[in-house]
Chain A
Amino acid sequence: MIELISADRCISCGLCVKVCPTNVFDGAVGEVPRIARQSDCQTCYMCEAYCPVDALYVAPYADKSVPVDEATLQATGLLGSWRATLGWGAGRTRLAAVDTTPFLDELEREIERSA
């Protein structure tokens, strides 16, 4: 679930408050949002995808909260990694444009043949 809003990075755009499907955040445009209902988080990673400055981090655990450290997340490249994978943000190539899903069937057949 959602574990981090970095007050240093956040530009208070309010997007995550609006975008979160399960209404986890509180806060008006112009303030740093608060994680108001963490247990309602459905771990869908969408807030991270939309945050323009990579101020959010969603840990992968559905049912437990874990401590996270911003500096470590940044050092390991996890902070902002989903947005980067999606290719969202200036100068990036969108994942959809390099999507390899249409080639999965072929790969499976190849693996079956060589097995």
Chain B
Amino acid sequence: MSVGVTVSGAAGPERDVLEADVLVIGGGPAGAWAAWSAARHGAQVVLVEKGYLGSSGATAPGGTNLLYVPPDPVLREAAVADRLAAGGQLNEVRWIHRVLDGVYESLALVEEWGYPFVRDAEGVPLRNHLQGPEYMRLMRRVVRRAGVRILDQCPALELLADAHGVGGARGLNRLTGRDWEVRASAVVLATGGCAFLSKGLGCNVLTGDGLLMGAEVGAELSGMEFSRAYGTSAEYGTVTRNRLLNFATLYAADGTVLPRRSRDAIARALLRGPVYAVLDRADTPDKRALLRRSHAVFFLPYDRAGIDPFRQRFPITLRFEGTVRGVGGLRLVGDDCRTTVPGLYAAGDAASRERSHGAITGGGAYNAAWAICSGRWAGAGAALYARTVGAVRDRRLKPVGRAGLRPENGAGRIDEAAVVEAVRRQTVPLQISYFRSEPVLRKALSQVDSLWPAVHGTPGRGIRERVRAREAAAMVATARWMHTASLTRRESRGMHILAEYPHQDPAQAHRLVLSGLDHITIRPEPVPQGGAA
């Protein structure tokens, strides 16, 4: 295993230095699977996590429904056809098959490792749902057993790079206040998506850090217009698991019953006033008991506020999820989830999921499957790459982070709280990111563009200030990419709906690839092998 060295001196503040073959940044499902997979392919692996591998990220506090289709050709073909139809022709048949295969096989492993899947009357395990706390506690154990060194409470702040590509990262240990550096031949970014601190379940650690770090070394992004995701929660609460609302009757403020399964109807009603729900379709004790033992976390906000959600109407709201239950992220250019930058891989919500999902997240089961599969592929790819480039020791690696980290042109102290508030104002409202329209988006884009210089000052010295300044920079960058891509796609496709262009335009059946920070460029990219069936 890597040795810890402490360096101090002219180069900067004292920091703890580790060496590894592969560094995984982020410890949600994608990072956990990537670390396990890299270790299994013989790499020495360090995983750094902003919070804690086991509790952190979008999966851990709640859980995920999963795509679980047995390898029966008829079922598989039907699943692929469904996905192609939903994906707006931006996905690829081969990648959909890869995900269906990969998740099926991986869930059998999860059971072998000790996850107690329920079985049906015939004894067949039902592997289409994972309770988040149980799953991620198990993954921590599996990752440790594979020999991975886990550094909790250690957010990465920037990548290290040289002329050969990426070679590790630097960050901060929030418990000790010390800086760390991990030098590694390959890096997997598994930092999740960006939900703009909207307090959706588990999402406040997801501020787009990996997208910014990747873009700083020249990686591209794709699918950033598919970022129109909102999750329903109690108006006062955070639990954004949506599925049990299928058992509810929904009411607008004036008492009108809203159609079920329509996020549009909820969003429109919320513009006019409060929206209420009651789970009255579960009208027997048996049904209610069944619901309680499914998405159990759903009930915490009601039980704790003294509301009986089966009988009393409770107010609900929509919380912005940005790219989390969206599609966009770092552009992948190989089966092993490599980016265009040598040594840099991306997995899970930090990666663009267009190759399998197309233009929409869809029925809420693809992302978790993707996190597992892309994690495994990226981990294996990174391990093989590390072997080909050899030791990282003699490389002249430099830290390459800028916004939120290093002052430019003598700028003053970054007011991270003000930037966060300002960027949230230009992203979170339904009027901007749900009901997309050109004039509103244009104005929001110019506002977030004008925030970019504001994150080029000096961060505060405290641990919290340093992390927050970098998160603020990442959110500003992410907002600029999202709004730029949303304005460039002058049509409606998948989850991107633009008021002025309500229809899908066959001439725009391409992806939109973004790059750059100070100056953002965007170009169309044909879908490799045609999505249309």
Contacts and interface: CB of A to CB of B under 8 A. Distances in A.
Given A19-B55, A96-B134, A46 B204 contact: no
Contacts of A108: 246-247
A23 B51 contact: yes
A37 to B, nearest CB: 7
A23 B204 CA distance: 11
B21 interface: no
B115 A22 contact: no
Contacts of B246: 108
B94 interface: no
A22 B56 CA distance: 8
Contact of B57 (A20, A21, A63): A21
A42 B203 contact: yes
Interface string B298-324: 001111110000000000000000000
A20 B51 contact: yes
A97 interface: yes
Contacts of B304: 59-60, 78
Contact of A46 (B55, B118, B134): B55
Contacts of A88: 133
Contact of A101 (B236, B295, B302): B295
| Among B134, B153, B203, B304: residue with most chain A CB under 10 A | B304
B398 interface: no
Nearest to A73: B304
A59 B381 CA distance: 43
Interface residues of A, number: 43
Contacts of B203: 42
A98 interface: yes
Interface in B253-303: 281-282, 287, 290-291, 293-297, 300-303
B296 A42 contact: no
A34 to B, nearest CB: 14
Contact of B129 (A18, A46, A101): A101
Contacts of B459: none
A4 B261 CA distance: 37
A49 B132 CA distance: 11
Interface of A: 17-23, 37, 40, 42-47, 49-50, 59-64, 78, 81-82, 85-86, 88, 94-104, 107-108, 111
